[in-house]
């Protein structure tokens, strides 16, 4: 397993070096597929998506594929995922992204994909692997299950007994304070990582403690809401 769960993608030196280390070969010799389902339910301007896709392309990949899990027959989508060296789950709604993997039936091949490829999560793409997913959605008082008509909230595949929240300190997420996060950890009764946009979690095994990769600020809370790590 080679996973990098980021708050803000491959946007700084530490995340670029981490992805390079997991990949083991130059970006110029590697193919990346960007799964964009998490952002697709939202209307409005998509300039930020285009800017972020350009930042990915500018890293110099041999091939950049842009993919929706609903873009065709499951066999065709699976072949495109398998053709990539890196699978990047883009941000947006973690609830819809997890649902997309399940609704298309592609969740069945996700564990194998995670064993074979480098997986990079970008915000919502980092949040879809926790067995606490439904508890976290309730703790966060998220209305997206109703808005997007997702009746069964569950992870794309349950790998971890902890949850991650992204964008600590971001101006568009002002309520994300240490106190707010501690309360959410208590409500979901499980460990919680909180990452700023310069931090990520490097994972080499589902049963192993994540390694923090950061040039910024991060927090970790236990199931009682006690702060157990920070920088």
Do residues 16 and 10 touch, judged by C-beta distance below 8 A?
A: yes
Average model confidence (pLDDT) for the chain? 97
- Please give the Cα distance from 139 to 122 (Å, whole number): 21
Largest interatomic CA distance in the chain: 46
Class of domain 2-230: alpha beta
Per-residue confidence band for 140, with pLDDT thresholds at 50, 70 and 90:
very high
pLDDT band per the 50, 70, 90 thresholds, residue 208: very high
Q: Is the backbone of residue 66 left (phi > 0), alpha (psi -120 to 50) or beta?
A: beta
Q: Please, what's the b/e burial string for 60-86 (b: 16 or more CB within 10 A of its CB; e: otherwise)?
A: ebeebeebebeeeeeeebbebbeebbb
Cα distances (Å, whole numbers) of residue 98 to 27, 157, 170 = 27, 8, 24
- The DSSP annotation for 130-172 comes to BTTHHHHHHHTT--HHHHTT--S---SS--BSSEEEEEET-TT
Yes or no: say if 98 and 129 are a contact pair by the CB < 8 Å rule: no
pLDDT at 65: 98
The pLDDT of residue 50: 97
Mean pLDDT of 106-113: 96
DSSP structural state of residue 18: H
Split at pLDDT 50, 70, 90, the class of 111 is very high
Radius of gyration of the CA atoms of the chain, in A: 16
- Is the separation of the CB atoms in 197 and 9 below 8 Å? no
Distance CA 81, CA 66 (A): 10
- pLDDT, tens digit (0-9, with 9 covering 90-100), for 19-56: 999 999 999 999 999 999 999 999 999 999 999 999 99
What is the pTM (predicted TM-score) of this model?
A: 0.97
SS3 1: coil
Position 93 confidence tier, pLDDT thresholds 50, 70, 90: very high
Name which of 184, 131, 186 is nearest 161 in CA terms. 131
Phi, psi for residue 135 in degrees, rounded to 5: -65, -35
Query: 191: how many CB neighbours lie within 10 A of its CB?
Result: 19
Secondary structure letter of residue 57 according to DSSP: H
């Amino acid at each position: 397993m080679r996973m990098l769960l980021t708050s803000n993608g491959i946007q700084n030196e530490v995340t670029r070096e981490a992805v390079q280390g997991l990949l083991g070969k130059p970006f110029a010799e590697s193919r990346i597929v960007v799964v964009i389902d998490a952002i697709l339910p939202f209307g409005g301007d998509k300039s930020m998506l285009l800017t972020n896709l350009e930042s990915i392309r500018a890293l110099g990949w041999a091939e950049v594929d842009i993919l929706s899990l609903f873009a065709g027959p499951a066999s065709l989508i699976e072949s495109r995922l398998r053709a990539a060296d890196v699978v990047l789950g883009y941000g947006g709604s973690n609830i819809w992204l997890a649902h997309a993997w399940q609704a298309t039936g592609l969740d069945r091949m996700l564990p194998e994909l995670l064993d074979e490829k480098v997986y990079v999560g970008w915000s919502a793409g980092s949040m879809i692997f926790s067995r606490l997913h439904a508890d976290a959605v309730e703790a966060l008082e998220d209305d997206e299950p109703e808005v997007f008509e997702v009746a069964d909230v569950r992870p794309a595949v349950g790998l971890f007994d902890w949850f991650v929240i992204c964008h600590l300190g971001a101006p568009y997420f002002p309520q994300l304070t240490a106190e707010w996060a501690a309360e959410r950890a208590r409500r979901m009764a499980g460990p919680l990582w909180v990452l700023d946009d310069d931090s990520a979690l490097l994972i080499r095994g589902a049963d192993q403690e994540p390694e923090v990769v950061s040039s910024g600020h991060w927090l970790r809370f236990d199931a009682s809401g006690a702060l157990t790590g920070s920088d």
